[in-house]
A and B are shown apart, each in its own frame.
Chain A
Amino acid sequence: MQLKKITIIILAIFTLLLPMPLAAYDLNEKIQLHGFASQGYLDSSGNNFLSDSLGGTFDFNEIGVNLNVRFTDKLRFGGQIMSRKMGNYGDNRIRLDWGLVDYRFQDWAGVRLGKVKIPLGLYNTERDSDFLRPMIFLPQSIYDETRRDTWLAQWGGELYGNVALDAFGDFDYKLFYGRIKYEGDSVYHDSTLANINRRLADNLTSPNPDPLLPSHINQCDRDNDYLYGANLIYSPPIENLRLGISYVSQKDTSYADNVKIGEYKTNSYFVFSLEYAWWNLSLSAEYGENDRTQTLYDVTTFDGPNQAWYVMLTYSATDRLGFSVLYDEYWKDKYNKDYSIHASGRYNSTPWRKDWGFGVRYDINENWTVKGEWHIVDGSALLLEFFNPDGTERYWQYGAVKASFNF
């Protein structure tokens, strides 16, 4: 069954490629058609990561096509459709990744309306395109893959621009406001449903159960009330140095079997970013805190900031071959790092995740990229109980190889 799926994917990729030259369709700078496809293999030991990965899985791919039409020098329309599969999720259903109308009044002021990528940190806007980043997985502390379906793009708009400061460099800014549409078939949705039912089961077995709570729910929904934020990237007059700050705030209302049961609010989520390239060395580092409050059935289940940071070094041995090393650290609660308090004996038995990652990337040509990496992890925070119903192990590892094509 798995081989059949892989064959279908490979055939789809080659069907896509056959009629095309190894370059994009650029028609007089007015219309551009581009795309990508990737196929990976994910394996892990100790815990399931993002899928039933303990036995290894080829259910790990992305395919996308984008079209840009420039109506005038200032007005552009663009959109990208894509499909992906990660374990049992995605199932290669086609969805709109982003789609927008872009009007740039001046270099320092433009507006984009439609489904627009959320500019969180340095890399959130390019998460779908594997070939754009050094490693297969972005640092999970900031770019949590289990939230990828929800924190990628928003329906609304953004103001953007680049402001030149002459001798002091320049900065890019984005101010955005919109709403997220939560998909009913995402990992996030299903894990939320599982978590709510676990709480309801805990209520039944507690010494003083709340009689007003149901014993079980069949379905849950989450509506986003609003999302807004800002992103500022400053390029000082030091070659290849970028400094950034991102801020996001949002509020969701949760429903179970069509009855409101709670709220999830991101009070403030900020990320500080640094990227520096010096010839064949690149350094990326980010630090973030997400201060969030969650209530379920009139009980505050979480209130406070997490803490996330990483440092990633990439060494380009040649123009085509690069090596990366990553240290990535996450704490579920910035102000409470006591192991014993979190050691429930079930899900999330550690409140941290410390990940050492080692990766290699080889660009065969401008269109083909192959990558491989291995991660050694201490801690089970961010792992979903959904994939690990029998509990998690503190020390575990995961690795992946992936081939990507883009045109």
Chain B
Amino acid sequence: MGKPLKTIMLLLLLMLYGAPGSCLAAEIILVVNHDNPLTGITWRAAERIFLSKKTEWTQGEHIHVVVNNEPEVYASFCRDILKKTSLQYLLYRKKMLFNGSGIPPRVMNNDEEVKDFVASAKDAIGFIRQESLDSRVKLLVIR
């Protein structure tokens, strides 16, 4: 086991040396319907919701999750909230479909579509750019 492990460690170090740094990104916030009594959730709860591990609000209603597929927003959400790359989260959602474990969240194209959906669905949650927040939806603070 010794020689292969040494080689793997060497490759790991080489990869780390070549890792790119972080880049500028959009500031992302979570939004819910105004009828949702919650004002904030923990980062861990937010992660579990978007990974479809937590499917019900504390009051018992089913959570309707929507993923914002606008590239910059999506990438920032994956990196800042889920701590994943865009591809990792995409594959996570596809795994649910193709191995029979569930139906992944609905996907929408931009902030406007997300806000329209969340405004119309009492139990919905989505993510948008901070500057896109308007009166249609309510900010859900990550504590």
Contact = CB atoms under 8 A, between A and B. Distances in A.
Interface of A: 26, 29, 32, 34, 36, 64, 66, 68, 70, 73-74, 76, 78-80, 98, 100, 102, 104, 106-107, 112, 116-117, 125-126, 128-129, 131-132, 162, 164, 166, 169-170, 172, 237, 239-240, 277, 279-283, 311, 313, 315-316, 319-320, 322, 325, 327, 329, 354, 356, 363, 366, 406
Contacts of B64: 29
B15 A281 contact: yes
B15 A80 contact: no
B56 A107 contact: yes
Interface string B43-60: 010001000011110000
A100 B101 CA distance: 10
Interface SS of A by simple majority: strand
A104 B55 contact: yes
Given A240-B84, A311-B8, A280 B19 contact: yes
Given A107-B53, A126-B98, A129-B99, A73 B7 contact: no
Contact of B54 (A29, A132, A162, A406): A162
Interface of B: 1, 4-5, 7-8, 11-12, 15-16, 18-20, 44, 48, 53-56, 62, 64, 75, 83-88, 90-91, 94-95, 97-103, 106-107
A53 to B, nearest CB: 25
Contacts of A128: 98
Given A73-B62, A78-B100, A164 B48 contact: yes
Contact of A281 (B19, B48, B102): B19
Contacts of B54: 107, 162, 164
Contacts of B55: 73, 104, 107
Given A66-B97, A282-B88, 19 more contacts: A64-B98, A73-B55, A79-B100, A106-B56, A116-B100, A126-B98, A129-B95, A129-B99, A132-B95, A162-B48, A162-B54, A170-B53, A172-B53, A237-B44, A281-B16, A313-B12, A315-B18, A319-B75, A354-B4
